[in-house]
Amino acid sequence: MKHLKGRMDESILVCVYYGLNGERLIRRGHKLATLLDCPLYVLTVDPKPLDAFDAEKSGYIERWKQLAEELQVEKFILLDNEKRPIQKVINEVARNYDVTQIIVGQSAQSRWEEITKGSFLNVLLKEVPFVDFHIVAIKRPTEDDSYDIYEKGVRAYLIESEEDFKIAFTCPKFAAIEGIFFKEIGTDFDNGIFKFTYANKMNELTITEGIVVNPQKIPVGAKPSSNPKM
């Protein structure tokens, strides 16, 4: 349950798209919303449907959702499979939630980078003329960032054996859970995380030497029902 805000004449929207900078933008928005004692909303938009997100993008989404809940954000707004121009989407959301201030960040790895260029900013200002914009300078990721401990994700499958679930990298001929495997950097074993979508929710499993170590996190309905025992 969200706290009742004192100032309902102000409302802040944070726009995040991709990368490590989303958390920083959300925290910046929360700091401003706390100072103004007003509602805070977080928006992320993607042209792909949710079940087509790669594991990295899905991981960011989950972290942003968790942070939004922790900071008691009024609403985390995820618009997937969105084909409209970004400025149209921002306009609609801003009007629906009576937004008066919008926070966006500059990042070389996201679609929001165009906002720092005059052309798109002018389009956005014309499309959403009733708000104030805050463009936040973003730090580049460093080698110390904890998110950089995995290799690029590859498609993988979970298959059920007699006692556990194992990871495979070729499509089996029987039922399996399909997802993306992120291997830890610097290991010769299949250690890392496996992510898959079920019921429009991203699930994450820990893999050690090719075996799922937390199978209790696999939703019952997602478990293969016709795997041959191995």
Per-residue pLDDT of the chain (230 residues; tens, 9 = 90+): 354 555 568 999 999 987 778 888 999 999 999 989 999 999 999 998 888 888 888 888 888 998 999 999 999 999 999 999 888 999 999 999 999 999 987 643 345 544 444 456 667 778 888 898 887 766 554 434 444 567 778 889 999 887 889 999 998 887 789 988 888 877 788 988 898 888 877 788 999 999 999 888 898 888 765 444 44
User: Quick one: pLDDT at residue 120?
Assistant: 60
Q: Which CATH class is domain 12-136?
A: alpha beta
Terminal Cα distance for the chain, rounded: 47
Where are the domains positioned within the chain?
Answer: 12-136, 150-222
Residues whose CB is less than 8 angstroms from the CB of residue 198 and which lie 6 or more positions away in sequence, other chains included:
219, 221, 222
Give CA–CA dist 159/56, Å, rounded: 22
Q: Give how far Cα 184 sits from Cα of 15, 112, 151, 193, 225, Å.
A: 30, 29, 6, 8, 30
Q: What is the pTM of this model?
A: 0.57
